[in-house]
Chains A and B, each alone.
Chain A
Amino acid sequence: MFEPVNETEVRPHAGEGASMAAVSVRHLSLGYRDNPKALKDISFDIPERAVTAIIGASGCGKSTLLRCMNRMNDLIEGVQYSGEVILDGSNILSPGTNVTALRRRVGMVFQRPNPFPKTVFENVAYGLKLSGVASARAQEEQVEQALRAAALWDEVKDRLDDSALKLSQGQQQRLVIARALALEPQVLLLDEPASSLDPTSTFRIEELIYELKQSHTIIIVTHNMQQAARVSDCTAFMHGGQLVEFGQTETIFTFPSKRETEDYITGRYG
């Protein structure tokens, strides 16, 4: 638990403004029955109020890494961690962590839009109600705030009582972002948030990511190299469960220091 950090390993140069690390990953390894070495000894610091992209080929463990940040991997039967993920000075992987409270601080958006089959309002209010916001007035305010933050308010303000499933795919994805934002998380995890969307909707999501990074730490997993280059400040490249390279996006994309990174970025595999 108190192992010294190995200075020779990949260390981050934090994003622009060189802010503090929002999340520190230390010697993180993870395995489960079907894949005993899904993540191998990963260490890096994710900068605060910046966008960190995790790229890599399918099955390289990038989603698994992302899901460590809010302990979604706990849902996998027989999952085993070692190492630490430090958020606000405490290791969130320790058994004593209040996992539901953690997930309110670390919001998550998935690959496919997954609104509940409820009204637009009910979707955004879902987490609020669970976290004990009971007054209708407070709910209304926070729902509106979240929808505005997700740049969806103007489109849905007259349709709050319509089923969320009637919205377009792009709107649904912004709705689930609003749903996560309603809980005012510090960190927002985006797992290929635009991979099922058309170019216009993708553009709007990327704009939104740019807006949100003023106030949130964002970690995004993406298959799309251009997207990573466009939206992120830092990029982590993963291969075979290992973190190959981590640094400022500009550096990674122009002067990658490792051969594998270059091969992947230039499209020789993946």
Chain B
Amino acid sequence: MIGLSASMVSTVLLIGSGLFILLVASAGDWLFLSSEPFEAGFLDRLNDVFFAKPNVENGLTGLFPAIVGTLSLVMVMTLFVAPLGVATAIYLSEYARDTWYTKLIRISITNLAGVPAIIYGIFGLGFFVYGLGGQVDALFYADRLPSPTFGTPGLLWAALTLALVNLPVVIVAVTEGLDAVPNDLREASIALGATKSETVFKAVMPAALPSVFSGLILATARAAGEVSPLLLVGAVKFSPSLPLSSRAPFIEFEQKFMHLGFQLFDAVLFARLPPGGLGWVACIALILVLLIGVLNVTAVSLRAAVLKRQTVENPF
């Protein structure tokens, strides 16, 4: 059994690294050798890859705004999904009584994890953009109507939609983590005079922390690569400005934004790529993969740091 899973892992790794090398090779080939679609040599080209002005003719643009957009989206999404997902899991696992109703909720959540993301996109468009956004505009931005402020696809709604896509993933992972904490630990805490909530937050949660983090990392990685719901709720091909601002809260929630996954989708299907332009596509793909890799590494090292602090806290 162990041998099988080990060989499966190595196969997956092999295929993965093969694809990665292919990506690097085509991106590198294009960066170094070809002369299309941008002019000039390697450094200029690298500069172009990130900072080129949008080219209306062939529909290509520098990727820096898309990187910023992707990162902002993932960040805002995590802010929503983390507290909501963890709180839901704690409630389901620690507080809710074990009835047919909670079982139904648990099964439904597991099933929701399998619903195609584009369905969430439609929900987000209907519920967040037109529903909630329309209300917000009517209440707070009535003077600007009929041109919508929040009643149109934008970063906030996209982040909320992605949060919904990933909520089941987080809930399931955290619930499983909490369920795996042995009951002995809860009894030990209760018997020492801890209340229910002290037990949950000081004994059970620290023990379940690794799986809480795993759930969040899984969600973050998925969110960074998810494109289909974004087509409906806010990603655009060109955005005149970054969704950032110099004033608190530093993010323009109502703005449309650029996204690496969307750039990729658009470059393949709609851009008028010149000959050899597939290298450009490879370049976007490579940057997206690297970005997700960086996000994962950051999250994993964050987890390691937190866990280390948890177990070797030194009072002396």
Contacts and interface: CB of A to CB of B under 8 A. Distances in A.
Contacts of B122: none
A107 interface: yes
A73 to B, nearest CB: 11
Binding site secondary structure of chain B: helix
Nearest to B312: A161
Nearest to B181: A117
A101 B193 CA distance: 6
Contacts of A121: 315-316
A77 B14 CA distance: 52
Interface in A119-166: 119, 121-122, 125-127, 130-131, 136, 139-140, 160-161, 163
A94 interface: no
A118 B187 contact: no
B289 interface: no
Nearest to A102: B193
Interface residues of B, number: 25
Contact of A100 (B194, B311, B314): B194
Nearest to A176: B188
Contacts of A119: 311-314
A163 B207 CA distance: 12
Contact of B195 (A100, A107, A122, A163): A100
Given A114-B187, A176-B188, A125 B315 contact: yes
Given A72-B187, A116-B203, A104 B192 contact: yes
B182 interface: yes
B99 to A, nearest CB: 10
B186 to A, nearest CB: 8
Interface in B85-121: 97
B272 interface: no
B182 A130 contact: no
Contact of A77 (B97, B185, B202): B97
Interface in A55-76: 70, 72, 75
B188 A110 contact: yes
Contacts of B195: 100
23 contacts: A72-B187, A75-B187, A100-B194, A100-B195, A103-B190, A103-B192, A107-B191, A114-B184, A114-B187, A116-B188, A116-B189, A116-B207, A119-B312, A122-B315, A125-B315, A126-B189, A127-B192, A130-B198, A130-B202, A131-B193, A136-B315, A160-B316, A179-B192
Q: Which 10 residue pairs are nearest across A and B when measured between Cβ atoms?
A: A114-B184, A127-B192, A104-B193, A108-B191, A103-B193, A100-B193, A114-B188, A117-B207, A161-B314, A130-B194
